[in-house]
Structure 1
């Protein structure tokens, strides 16, 4: 569903602005002051990891102090609003997951920020597969068996997610819709408490990012049934995609990108795109991300903006059709 759109956009030509402008002026401007990288979620997760890689890379590149500001709260909105208020000079950047850019604008119409009105897309950074996994006590060993079990107990098979309207919540809604069953959504305030309940057997199923679930799958504390990506994951090569398991139309992954305050000079954006591409395409960066189940995925500027708009348009009818409301 969403992946073909992303791949088509990613393979398109890079942002003409970045190609057309010399970034020399941007490089000089960026070298003039320290950097603040806002991560609107707590330390330890993919957003924090990417923010620290970006911060370290810019510090090395410009010989400037660069800090990560974990400005958490309100499902990431506090940090995003702080980034919105920052000076538009390229020295304050926001590392953010897709849901805050493509889901929240529909789910939360009273947001205090506008994705297009307050920010400019710099580049995407990385993406990862989502995994459908169950506690070992669940008798289902395949997606077909899970669907059959859910049909026997309509609304009785619960799945944990990090919150109402999160991309993982919507992945579960889309999975149920395409499989013709109703799962019970169990919302938590973040991934950790939901994962703990699934590991403890209180909730039978979880849909989570590969980096979060992989250690527990490898240890046998969770059983992976499928990935929601268009292709199998290298880290879980024996686990089928949902399409392979007989549930088409759920080809989606989680991704993360960088936004800058609206009004950031074009030359600065061009230089940042060049810098970030270099930082994340370094072999050591790729290896570090791969260990965590992430892969580098760079789509710059206007093309990244197209990805955001396209996904927003695709998620909106799902949110409305399933009657999902922010809590």
Structure 2
């Protein structure tokens, strides 16, 4: 009997201690891993949101850049971290939808190894062309490409990147053929677009909006379902010639699988409050990012839908990375 009572007492202590730990969460700094280099759009979004989350949670949320393998290195580190809420990931369409189809060897499962927390923002892409192409709408671009298969090149930030696959999806849905020219990043690709070395590019709207406003390139259309508040006069690809087309980048918070629901809920609440803050919304809007602030369940559904969407696009593009 004494042994039984001792076991029950230990179990009660463990249960109570775990419950108290969840109740007190967080009681030390939280590490937010950004799986890309500092200075990019994902890093900027992370730092804006992390600062506000720290205010809300009364503990610092420290951004740690852990780049490598197209985002896989940082994502894998979080997947293997202790499921206690103190290590979280700023995930993207690359880490959770594209890379699983692109890389022949993945160090994590995007669904099984993570607990969804909150979808923070959507970032529109944009179809931009050199002025010498003399097209101003999606319909005109499609007509030109259909009349000249494989004549025109489009630039991207690299093989298998969201920008490459945005072009591949456009080709597939429009029934056109272009020559893909991958660069080592969006910067070099933009240089050749501006010079006219390549005529077409699928880019993140934040990085092209300045050149569009100056008239250095022509913004044909944004790739999201709805028009962007940052460029309200620019139509969407879907409404201007290719119905149903939609691509965009996104940023979302994930925790390691097995993180207690109570902690996930606290993190999600902090995320939603952070992106709803007027000052944060204004900063994100300057980046052309559209705030969301979803529930964990909504992010879970979003990731599964994105995997279903991008897997066939990656396969059809022929892109594959052995890493």
Residue number in structure 2 paired with 1:130: 125
Q: 1 CA distance for matches of 2:103 and 2:118?
A: 24
Larger radius of gyration: 2
Question: 1:249 is matched with which residue?
Answer: 244
Quote the Cα distance in structure 1 between the aligned partners of 2:190 and 2:176: 23
- After superposition, the Cα gap between the structure-2 partners of 1:235 and 1:54, relative to the gap in structure 1 and judged at 3 Å, is closer
1:206-217 to 2 correspondence within 5 Å?
206-217=201-212
Report the equivalent of 2:8.
Answer: none
- 1:319 is aligned to 314
- Residue by residue over 1:136-163, the C-alpha shift from the partner in whole angstroms, topping out at 9 and shown as x without a partner, is 2322232233223323432221112222
Work out the number of aligned pairs and report it.
304
Describe how 1:145-294 pairs up with structure 2 within 5 A: 145-294=140-289
What are the superposed Cα offsets for residues 145-185 of structure 1, whole Å, 9 maximum, x if unpaired? Answer: 32233234322211122222222222211211222211111
Counterpart for residue 38 of structure 1: 33
CA distance in 1, matches of 2:199, 2:240: 19
**Is the CA contact 2:71–2:94 (under 8 Å) kept in the aligned structure 1?**
no
Quote the residue 1:301 is aligned against.
296
Question: How much has 1:27 moved relative to structure 2?
Answer: 5.4
CA contact (8 A) 1:25 1:267 kept: no
What's the C-alpha RMSD, in Å, of the aligned pairs?
2.0
Report if aligned partners of 1:147, 1:181 keep a CA contact under 8 Å in 2. Answer: yes
1:29 match: 25
TM score, norm. by length of structure 1: 0.86
Note the alpha carbon deviations across 1:98-150, whole angstroms, 9 max, x for none.
12201211222311111122211111000122110012232223223322332
Deviations 1:187-231, CA, capped at 9 Å, x for gaps: 223222222222232221111121121122112222101111222
- Inter-partner Cα distance in structure 2 for 1:190 and 1:263: 35
Gaps of 5+ in 1: 1-22
Instruction: Deviation per CA, 1:28-80: give whole Å up to 9, x if none.
Output: 121x1112111111222221122102321233234434321111122111211
Q: Show CA shifts across 1:241-292 (max 9, x none).
A: 2222221221232221111111211111111111111111001111111111
**Structure 2 gaps, min length 5:** 1-18
Following the alignment from structure 1 to structure 2, what is the Cα–Cα distance between the partners of residues 214 and 227? 11
Query: How far does residue 317 in structure 1 lie from its aligned partner after superposition?
Result: 2.3
Q: What CA distance in whole angstroms lies between the structure 2 residues aligned with 1:251 and 1:62?
A: 35
Tell me which residue corresponds to 1:11.
none
- Please point out which of 44, 53, 56 is paired with 2:51: 56
Residue matched to 1:74: 69
Q: Does 1:120 align with 2:119?
A: no
Kept in 2, the 8 Å contact 1:36–1:91? The answer is yes
Q: TM-score of the superposition, structure 2-length normalised?
A: 0.87
Q: CA deviation at 1:24?
A: 8.7
Partner of 2:105: 110
8 Å CA contact 1:160, 1:194 repeated in 2: yes
Distance 1:60 1:273 in 2: 14
Cα distance in 2 for residues equivalent to 1:158 and 1:315: 22
